[in-house]
């Protein structure tokens, strides 16, 4: 577990400033949700934290460590995307263990971690199946399982439920709450679904055009939005 600190984080793509100075401290074990309109920079910010994009300016710290120059694999972070391609020819167990196997983790340890993650995700009975024998929600659990087995200090989720149908999304929302309750790991979660944000977040970060508009607990934002933009996103229905 670790806190995550963003200090003056900036990102340009060519001449376009996409992230325009973000300062934020996420506490150890906190569940923080990023919301904001499409194109405001949510995914880019996650990718900067993960090290999948280079910073144009500022720093990213994980715990006390400045990881700005570190490769993604060294950061102790695992990221789950909205499209979660599983290897079709591998079983669930193989899909979950593959990354660890590549990292030369010994087999007994791979088995131990896969079994433990499967238990947390209640997919133990699916370990010998192939992806095509799974439902959408089960596949998403396997994708999360691949992240859990790495035992990261921080989880990043980029709209992990947006490819699922509405009913399944509601069910999986509770799974994330339960997962956080069990693992107690720092989680940063991107969504454009207000209800998801309100239900899951310890704090919500509202982003607009590469900047933070407001940060607060869900009820704080709901009852005391700083401006109309935040109100439109989170505020009480009028």
User: Between residues 23 and 119, which has the closer beta carbon with respect to ligand ADP?
Assistant: 23
User: Judged by CB, which is closer to ligand ADP: 38, or 236?
Assistant: 38
Distances in Å between the Cα of 21 and the Cα atoms of 71, 146, 205 are 22, 32, 14
Report the residue number, 36 or 145, with the smaller CB distance to ligand ADP: 36
Give the closest residue to 199 by CA, choosing from 171, 165, 157, 162: 171
# residues near ligand ADP by CB under 6 A: 10
Token pair for 202: 């310890």
Q: Which is nearer to ligand ADP, 42 or 139 (CB)?
A: 42
SS3 87: coil
CA nearest to 234, candidates 213, 212, 201, 206:
206
Cβ(16)–Cβ(38) below 8 Å: no
> Do residues 206 and 230 touch, judged by C-beta distance below 8 A?
yes
Neighbouring residues of 76: CB distance < 8 A, sequence distance ≥ 6: 2, 62, 152, 153, 154
Taking the least distance from each CB to Mg ion, the nearer of 11 and 93 is 11
Q: Tell me how far, at minimum, the Cβ of 13 lies from ligand ADP, in Å.
A: 3
- Piece in contact with Mg ion (CB under 5 A), picked from 7-15, 41-49, 87-95, 102-110: 41-49
- Least distance in Å: CB of 176 to Mg ion? 17
Residues 28-57, one symbol each (x = binds ligand ADP by CB under 6 A, - = not), give --------x-xxxxxxx-------------
Contact partner at residue 180 from Mg ion, ligand ADP, none, CB < 5 to 8 Å by partner kind: none
Give the whole-angstrom CA distance, residue 126 versus residue 4: 34
Tell which one of 43, 95, 140, 186 touches Mg ion (CB under 5 A): 43
**Per-residue H/E/C for 180-197:** HHHHCCEEEEECCCHHHH
Choices 39-47, 68-76, 102-110, 181-189; region in contact with Mg ion by CB under 5 A:
39-47
Q: Does 161 bind ligand ADP (CB under 6 A)?
A: no
4/207 with CB nearer ligand ADP: 207
For residue 9, count other CB atoms closer than 10 A to its CB. 24
The contact set with ligand ADP (CB under 6 A) reads 13, 18, 36, 38-44
The contact set with Mg ion (CB under 5 A) reads 42-43
């Amino acid at each position: 577990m670790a806190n995550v600190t963003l200090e003056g984080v900036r990102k340009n793509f060519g001449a376009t400033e996409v992230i325009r100075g973000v300062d934020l401290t996420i506490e150890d074990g906190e569940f923080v949700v990023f919301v904001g309109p499409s194109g405001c920079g949510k995914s880019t910010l996650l990718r900067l934290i993960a090290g999948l994009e280079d910073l144009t300016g500022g720093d990213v710290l994980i715990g006390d460590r400045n990881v700005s120059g570190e490769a993604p694999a060294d950061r102790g972070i695992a990221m789950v995307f909205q499209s979660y391609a599983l290897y079709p020819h591998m079983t669930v167990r193989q899909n979950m263990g593959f990354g660890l196997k590549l990292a030369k983790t010994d087999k007994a340890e791979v088995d131990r971690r896969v079994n433990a993650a499967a238990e947390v995700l209640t997919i133990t009975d699916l370990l010998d199946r192939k992806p095509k024998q799974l439902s959408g929600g089960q596949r998403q659990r396997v994708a999360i399982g691949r992240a859990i087995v790495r035992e990261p200090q921080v989880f990043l989720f980029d709209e992990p439920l947006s490819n699922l149908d509405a009913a399944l999304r509601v069910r999986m929302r509770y799974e994330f709450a339960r997962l956080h309750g069990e693992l107690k790991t720092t989680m940063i979660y991107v969504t454009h679904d207000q209800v998801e944000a309100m239900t899951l977040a310890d704090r919500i970060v509202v982003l607009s055009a590469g900047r933070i508009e407001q940060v607060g607990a869900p009820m704080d934002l709901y009852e005391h939005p700083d401006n109309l933009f935040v109100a439109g996103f989170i505020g009480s229905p009028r």
